[in-house]
């Protein structure tokens, strides 16, 4: 048990007394030394110590500055503790006397855990955000820019064989009731020491034999483990008079077994397919020549994913996201998501950031910021009706692919969104690779403007902007046509006939009715159309869908042709790259496992970036008020 501690001041042995002038007043360390308590007030950490008993903790203001500097300089806990012990700049910033012993490195772990488990896990970012609000740095600035980048994970990628062996070894060690049973399986020699199987890896048949043994063992373990789970749950229900702590521990053990067994089942199925000669009684398996959507790549960090920045740049890890103000470079929202999978696309995270920035302030304290962490758990691969790997021969037209029906691996910046779409939407907003040069943006609306690249161009993102009253200044994705330089979906007109019924007219001059879903079938006219060869390659003719989603995105593409839109985009969008670079620059590899801890790490980085930006704008404390002496001018 621990009670809240308060700083006692450094007294005669302060850094200023021992070495006057060593820490410049205008530097980052000098600013923190002078305004540490104003930036991180002790009452902001009071809820972390509900008990008034026990040994006093390290002062909250000291740990707030230490966590900020650690994130800023990309240090490990031991390195940060060393700086607190030997670096006079750190001692001055944290308010420690020269002869005062530094906290042990484990104190940093304790504080991060306490903050993460509290009701305000983003309090350091929120406290810096309160200063941003108090000094008026964002007053009158009506633009926000969003961007994302890849953050490398802290673990090594594991192949399928290694993951199966390690996961069975873990289950064997954690659950004694299964150990003897696992030791009787055909692959028992691999599980005891987690050794690399000694086979001829150049022999396809030998590899197939090994994968067959491991996958069949995994399925047997899963089947047996669920029997054990049912037995333990039945036993627990039959018990009477158990202490609450004992019952909680038993239920926790059962849930832990379920988690590990579920992961084993996922690993056994995500990368394999039935091999030649397989039967129902004796199934044989081989590694499939594909990458499973939302693929788990490590048993050590089950939330790390494959991420593609482009077809040539393939990484493993997470995605860092920021929402910044372009004139000042201040980050108003930040966080991390999984690199692939549900809820991880830029457009989906962009909606969360924009909504939390504009809509959640009334229900939160000034120092609180909503998290955008995506915690989707890995699940087995299931076929979807809009699977991008479906046979193209089932399509009416070669261009009839929706932009959101793409490889789930391709979810990073400049890639397409992974949201599911209406299966009726079978025409063309198929995306080409994003051009390298930014081209588009802004149309001079009266409200807030949201600037982002084409990775954020989805109907859901546009609808979110419309609902919030925000003007979307998002670079549209380019359309692909069935024939090079041919007719695109934007060349079709939509209107009403004499009776007021919705109709669509093709560039060839033929008009057909629109269904309730926005579907227009031109197959009866294409065979006699003079421009068919420039419109479609489908033998039967062309079918398009112009529903609400397609028409909204079509209107956005038209708005993006406005010169003012393009000028604003070119002027303000590059700051998104700079802001996220300031956040990631100290080190691109996360030191933590799991999206929750990586999210907290990104927010600390963003807080450190904001402090440096505020200092560059001349942040000072006049009495009880924060002021800026060198703020950039407002832009029209």
Of all helices (H) and strands (E), which one includes residue 526?
Answer: helix 523-526
Do both 462 and 507 map to the same domain?
Answer: no
Do both 1 and 81 map to the same domain?
Answer: yes
Do both 552 and 519 map to the same domain?
Answer: no
Do both 631 and 553 map to the same domain?
Answer: yes
- What is residue 363's predicted lDDT score, i.e. its pLDDT? 38
- What is residue 17's predicted lDDT score, i.e. its pLDDT? 74
Residue 554 lies in a domain: yes
Rounded Cα distance between 287 and 331, Å, is: 44
pLDDT digits (tens, 9 = 90+) for 533-571: 999 999 899 999 988 999 999 999 999 999 999 999 999
The domain boundary residue, chosen from 287, 315, 338:
287
Residue 393 lies in a domain: yes
Residue 479 lies in a domain: yes
The parent domain of residue 503 ranges over 493-545
pLDDT digits (tens, 9 = 90+) for 272-323: 999 998 999 899 999 999 888 889 999 999 999 999 877 777 889 999 999 9
Do both 268 and 316 map to the same domain?
Answer: no
Of all helices (H) and strands (E), which one includes residue 85?
Answer: helix 77-86
Residue 436 lies in a domain: yes
pTM of structure: 0.81
Contact 576, 147 (CB under 8 A): yes
- What is residue 160's predicted lDDT score, i.e. its pLDDT? 94
DSSP SS3 for 584: helix
Do both 588 and 446 map to the same domain?
Answer: yes
The domain boundary residue, chosen from 89, 118, 147:
118
Q: Examine the pLDDT at 180 and tell me if it is beyond 70.
A: yes
Contact 320, 609 (CB under 8 A): no
pLDDT digits (tens, 9 = 90+) for 498-512: 888 999 999 999 999
The structural domain count of the chain equals 4
The domain boundary residue, chosen from 118, 144, 168:
118
- What is residue 386's predicted lDDT score, i.e. its pLDDT? 37
What is the full DSSP assignment across 475-515? PPPPBP-SSTT---GGGSEEEE-TTS-EEEE-TTS-EEE--
Residue 458 lies in a domain: yes
């Amino acid at each position: 048990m621990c009670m809240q501690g308060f700083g006692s001041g450094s007294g005669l042995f302060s850094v200023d007394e021992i070495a006057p002038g060593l820490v410049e007043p205008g530097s980052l360390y000098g600013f923190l030394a002078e305004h540490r308590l104003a930036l991180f007030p002790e009452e902001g950490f009071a809820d972390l110590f509900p008990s008034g008993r026990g040994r006093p903790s390290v002062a909250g203001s000291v740990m707030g500055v230490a966590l900020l500097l650690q994130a800023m300089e990309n240090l490990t806990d031991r390195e940060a503790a060393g700086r607190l012990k030997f670096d006079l700049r750190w001692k001055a910033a944290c308010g420690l006397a020269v002869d005062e012993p530094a906290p042990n490195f484990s104190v940093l772990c304790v504080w991060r855990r306490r903050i993460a488990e509290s009701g305000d896990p983003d309090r350091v970012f929120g406290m810096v955000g309160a200063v941003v609000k108090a000094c008026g740095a964002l007053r009158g600035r009506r633009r926000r820019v969003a961007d994302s980048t890849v953050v490398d994970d802290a673990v090594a990628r594991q192949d399928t064989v290694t993951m199966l062996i390690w996961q069975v070894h873990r289950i064997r060690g954690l659950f004694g009731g299964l150990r003897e049973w696992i030791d009787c399986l055909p692959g028992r020699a691999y599980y005891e020491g987690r050794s690399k199987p000694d086979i001829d890896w150049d022999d396809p048949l030998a590899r197939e034999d090994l994968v067959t043994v491991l996958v069949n063992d995994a399925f047997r373990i899963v089947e047996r483990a669920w029997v054990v789970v049912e037995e333990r749950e039945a036993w627990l229900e039959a018990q009477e008079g158990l202490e609450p702590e004992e019952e909680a521990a038993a239920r926790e053990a059962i849930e832990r077994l379920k988690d590990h067994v579920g992961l084993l089942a996922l690993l056994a199925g995500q990368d394999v397919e039935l091999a030649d000669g397989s039967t129902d009684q004796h199934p044989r398996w081989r590694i499939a020549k594909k990458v499973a959507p939302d693929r788990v790549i490590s048993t050590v960090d089950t939330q790390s994913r494959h991420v593609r920045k482009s077809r040539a740049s393939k990484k493993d890890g997470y995605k860092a996201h920021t929402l910044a103000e372009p004139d000042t470079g201040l980050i108003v929202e930040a966080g991390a998501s999984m690199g692939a999978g549900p809820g991880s696309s830029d457009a989906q995270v962009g909606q969360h950031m924009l909504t939390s920035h504009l809509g959640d302030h009334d229900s939160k304290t000034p120092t609180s910021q909503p998290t955008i962490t995506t915690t989707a758990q890995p699940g087995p691969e299931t076929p979807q009706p809009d699977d991008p790997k479906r046979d193209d021969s089932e399509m009416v037209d070669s261009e009839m692919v929706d932009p959101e029906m793409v490889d789930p691996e391709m979810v990073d910046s400049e890639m397409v969104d992974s949201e599911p779409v209406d299966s009726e939407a079978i025409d063309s907003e198929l995306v080409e690779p994003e051009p390298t040069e930014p081209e588009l943006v802004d149309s001079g609306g009266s409200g807030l403007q949201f600037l982002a690249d084409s990775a954020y161009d989805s109907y859901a993102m546009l609808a979110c902007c419309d609902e919030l009253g925000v003007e979307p200044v998002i670079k549209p994705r380019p359309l692909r046509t069935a024939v090079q330089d041919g007719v695109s979906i934007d060349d079709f007109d939509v209107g009403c006939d004499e009776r007021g019924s919705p109709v669509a007219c093709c560039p060839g001059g033929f008009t057909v009715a629109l269904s309730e879903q926005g579907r227009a079938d031109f197959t009866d006219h294409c065979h006699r159309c003079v421009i068919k060869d420039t419109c479609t390659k489908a033998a039967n003719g062309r079918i398009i869908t112009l529903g609400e989603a397609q028409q909204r995105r079509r209107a956005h593409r038209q708005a993006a042709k406005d010169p003012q839109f393009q000028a604003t985009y070119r002027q303000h969008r590059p700051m998104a790259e700079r802001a996220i670079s300031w956040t990631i620059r100290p080190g691109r590899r996360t030191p933590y496992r799991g999206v929750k801890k990586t999210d907290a790490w990104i927010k600390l980085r963003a807080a450190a970036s904001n402090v440096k930006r505020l200092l560059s704008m001349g942040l000072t404390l006049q009495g009880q008020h924060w002021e800026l002496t060198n703020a950039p001018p407002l832009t029209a």
